[in-house]
Amino acid sequence: MMPALLNRICHIGFHIVEGQQLASNLVQRFGFELFATRVAEWSKQLAFRRGDAIFVVNERLKPTEQVPPASSSGHCKEKGILYDVEPQHAVSTASNICFEVEDIPDVSQNLRERGCQLLVPPTTVADEGGSVTYCVVKSVVGNISHTLLDRSQYSGLFLPGFRVVDETRNEFQADGKVTHFDHITFACPQGSSQAVVDWYKNCLGFRRFLIHEQDHVCEGYRIQGPGVGLRLTAMSYSRSDSTLPNRDCKFVLAESLPGQSSNQVDAFLKQHGGAGIQHVALYTSDIVGTAAAMSKSGANFFKPPLAYYSDKGKEQEIKRVGLEIGLLRDHGILLDADTVGEGSSESLGPVRKPYLMQVFTKPLFTEETFFLELIERWGATGFGEGNVRALWQSVQNYMDKYA
C-alpha cells in the first residue's frame, strides 16, 4: 500500500486573531495580490498570491461584520471554514499546508489505514466552475494540518465558494520576481525530528533530503558553536504528476540542541504554544530588487552583524560570484556557497560553486513566531547552512532587545 502521492502545494493557510494586520501587510508590504474571498456567517477567508505562492488568511469577523446565513457567499451551504479546520489556537499561526492530489476517497482511506487522524472527512464543494473534493489530515507536528484536495473537476480560478476579486495589480505586485514557495521550516521540540520524518515518509510519501556533506540520515545536520546549537533535517515529497513544473517545496525541521540557553526555536515553541510553522521561504529571481521593494513598502528585515560582511572568507566568497558586498550589506542579504561540487549550469560558468542568497523578515505577528524568508538560488540546493550562525546571532540580538 503506497502512501499518498502529492502533486504540488496549493496554498498555505493562516488563522489570525483579532487585531493582527497580516492581510493588509501581505498586500502593502510584501506585494501580494488579494484575488479571491469567501465570507461566511462568522468568518472570512482571503486568498493572496504572488506567482504560484498562495496564502489563505482565515479571520473571525468582528461583530459589526457578521452577516446572517442568507447573506453568506451564495455558493456555500457551510457556515464555517472551508478547506481547513476551525481555529483552535490562541495566537495567530500559519497552520495548514494544502496539497493537490488525486482520488480523495482512496487517499483518505489509505491515511486511515495508516493510523492518521482525519480532521475533515472527504467533502465535496461545488459552484458554477465545477467541484472540488478534499479532506484534512492532522500532522504529527504541533497544530499543523494538511488539506488534500482534488481539483481536477474544477475550472474556476481558485476554489469553489470563493469569489474572484478583480483588482488592478500595481507595479510592485506584477513584477514577476517572486515565483513560488521554496521551502517551509517547522520549529520542533528536541529529539522529535526523526519521528516527524517517519510520519511524513509513511503517510505522505516524503523522503529525506541531505543538505550538507555532514548531514546524517538519522541525526540530521548539527550546527554547534559559541552561542548556537541547532539540528536541521530536510525532506521533500515525490510528485505524482511529472508533467508539472519542478517547483517542489521542501520541508525543513529545526530543533535546538540540548544545553542551549534562550534561543529562537525554543522561544517559538513557548510563544506559539507548541511546534508549528516557523517560516516560509519565497523564491525570488532578484533578491536585491525584491528586498529593496519590500523594505521601501514597510517590510522589516533582520540585519546580520556587520562582522559577517567584513569576514575575509565571506568577503572572498561574495566577490568570487561577482557581487558587491555593499549591496548585500545594505539589504541584510546573506550569501552561502555549497560545500561540495562546482557549478555546472550555464549561468554559473565553469568555475563558480553553486550558491544562494537569502534574507529574513522580522516576526509578522505580535509574538516572536512566524516570519518570511526571501531566497534566490544559483545552483545551490541547501538552505543557507553556512549562514545559520549569522542569522542566529541577529535574531538573538533582536530577542534580547525586546526581552
- Mention every residue, 6+ apart, whose C-beta is less than 8 A from residue 200: 206, 235, 237, 251
- In sequence order, the 6+-apart residues with CB closer than 8 A to the CB of 285 are 176, 177, 179, 376
Chain-centre distance for alpha carbon 109: 27
Q: Are 59 and 43 in contact (CB under 8 A)?
A: yes
Q: What is the DSSP letter of 361?
A: B
Tell me how far apart the alpha carbons of residues 255 and 141 are, in angstroms, rounded to a whole number.
12
Is 183 annotated for ligand binding?
Answer: yes
Q: Which three cell numbers stand for residue 249?
A: 517545496
Per DSSP, the three-state class of 339 is coil
Q: Residue 152, Cβ neighbours under 10 Å: how many?
A: 14
What does the chain come to in residues? 403
- Grid coordinates standing for 333? 542579504
Neighbour-count burial of 210, counting CB atoms closer than 10 A to its CB (0-12 exposed, 13-18 middle, 19+ buried): middle
Nearest to 95 by CA among 145, 149, 47: 145
State yes or no: 89 annotated in a binding site. no
Backbone angles phi, psi at 113, to 5 degrees: -65, -20
Residue 101 contacts residue 107 (beta carbons within 8 Å) = yes
266 three-state secondary structure = helix
Q: Which amino acid is at 6?
A: L
Rg (CA), the chain: 21
Residue 216 labelled as part of a binding site: no
Q: Could you tell me which residues are beta bridge partners of residue 38? A: 45
Angstrom distances, CA of residue 195 to CA of 66, 160, 184, 202, 234: 42, 35, 18, 11, 13
> CA-CA distance, 65 to 342, in Å (whole number)?
57
The binding site for Fe cation consists of 183, 279, 373
The binding site consists of 183, 279, 373
